[in-house]
Amino acid sequence: MIKIITDSAADITLAEAEDLNIQIVPLTITFEGTELKQETEEDYDQFFQQLITATKLPITSRPSPKAYLRFFEQAEKEEVDVLVLTLSSGLSGTYESAVLARELSSYKDRIHVVDTKQAILTQRMLVQYAVQLRDAGETVESIITQVEDVRERMVVCGVVNTLKYLKMGGRIPKSLAFIGETLKIKPIIILENTKLSELAKKRGVAAGKKRLHEELEKEPLDPAFPVHFGYTLNREQGEVFMQETIEKYSLTNSKMHPVGGVIGTHVGPNCLALAFVRKKSSKKSGSLSRSVDSVFFQLHAG
């Protein structure tokens, strides 16, 4: 048996974790001195309801090495291999904490820590893929090889509904935020080279959705993986976007999940996200890189 551990940036609820037989190490979200749990979909909704009226952003902190060590100690007692799949190292020190915990453990030879280079939907997808491989009887080494292959072909991007939270976090100047809000500018963000960056700026939600669809069309999809849709707070909006996309591209394998507070802190409510896996090709992974004009923010999750 292999013990799989991830963190709360994957937005996997505790109930889902139990079904998958995995463990979740939480990043800490502190709101006006109170720690907010992100364990259920109701917790996600409550977080965004509070964020709407907030005058300061919550503080998101990476897990301590101690949070991992308790799982490692249990694995040692059970004499099982451990696979840790962390939030992108470009967004958080979570990977660093897991690696340090491994070095502190007397069981480190059987602990494997992988930087997913992903977050939210694509991090979830990699965790679910690892579970599928584990349950099929694959070795931990084989799982790591296959997970690392898939992560290089993953894309997750989204439409940010408001510049308010980027302004509050100091990611963009107040003057630019004011102009952007007046013109109803919607930044399109993409997780690329381990960090979230701006891909484009569009006026209105419809134009933002169209830009996400353009990303979907760039290269063939890997049919082995569902196309995933995400949303913050507004499930109805997420369902509409998913249905529009399914009909437009005749998708036969799609899933939708809410996005929680770890990344949601920076992008706010009423955002839409799209995640998928590119089909493997003979091109080098670097061929997927793109020229990003006017990159004006990078997000860090703590």
Do both 204 and 233 map to the same domain? yes
| Angle 290-182-159 from CA coordinates, rounded to 5° | 35
Mean pLDDT of 28-33: 92
Do both 129 and 174 map to the same domain? no
Residue-number span of the structural domain to which 255 is assigned: 154-288
pLDDT higher than threshold 70 for residue 251: yes
User: Which of helix, strand or coil describes residue 226?
Assistant: coil
Q: Which long-range contacts (CB under 8 A, 24 or more apart) does 37-46 make?
A: 38/8, 38/11, 38/260, 38/261, 38/262, 39/13, 39/14, 40/13, 40/14, 40/15, 41/13, 41/258, 43/260, 44/11, 44/232, 44/233, 44/258, 44/259, 44/260, 44/261, 44/264, 45/233, 45/258
Query: In this structure, is residue 294 part of a structural domain?
Result: no
State the CATH number of the domain containing residue 136. 3.40.50.10440
User: What's the domain count of the chain?
Assistant: 2
Residue 113 near residue 98 (C-beta atoms within 8 A)? yes
Query: In this structure, is residue 37 part of a structural domain?
Result: no
Do both 144 and 159 map to the same domain? no
Query: In this structure, is residue 269 part of a structural domain?
Result: yes
Do both 12 and 142 map to the same domain? yes
Do both 172 and 271 map to the same domain? yes
Do both 175 and 117 map to the same domain? no
Flag the least confident range among 70-84, 109-123, 225-239, 278-292.
Answer: 278-292
Cα–Cα nearest to 51, from 270, 273, 203, 297: 270
pLDDT digits (tens, 9 = 90+) for 36-67: 999 999 999 999 999 999 989 999 999 999 99
pLDDT for position 198? 82
Query: In this structure, is residue 49 part of a structural domain?
Result: no
Rounded to two decimals, the pTM is 0.91
Dihedral class, residue 20 (left if φ above 0, else alpha if ψ from -120 to 50, else beta): alpha
* Last-in-domain residue among 95, 129, 151: 151
Do both 128 and 192 map to the same domain? no
Write the burial class of residue 231 (CB in 10 Å: 0-12 exposed, 13-18 middle, 19+ buried): buried
Query: In this structure, is residue 246 part of a structural domain?
Result: yes
Do both 186 and 110 map to the same domain? no
Averaged pLDDT of the chain: 89
Query: In this structure, is residue 281 part of a structural domain?
Result: yes
Two tokens at 233? 């707070």
State the CATH number of the domain containing residue 185. 3.30.1180.10
Query: In this structure, is residue 57 part of a structural domain?
Result: no
Do both 162 and 227 map to the same domain? yes
Do both 103 and 131 map to the same domain? yes
* Last-in-domain residue among 129, 151, 173: 151
Outline where DSSP puts E strands in the chain.
Answer: 2-7, 22-25, 28-31, 34-36, 59-61, 81-86, 111-115, 154-159, 185-192, 195-203, 227-231, 254-258, 272-277
Do both 174 and 120 map to the same domain? no
Do both 159 and 137 map to the same domain? no
* Last-in-domain residue among 100, 130, 151: 151
Query: In this structure, is residue 38 part of a structural domain?
Result: no
**Percent of the chain topping pLDDT 90:** 77
Q: Whole-angstrom Cα distance, residue 267 to residue 208? A: 14
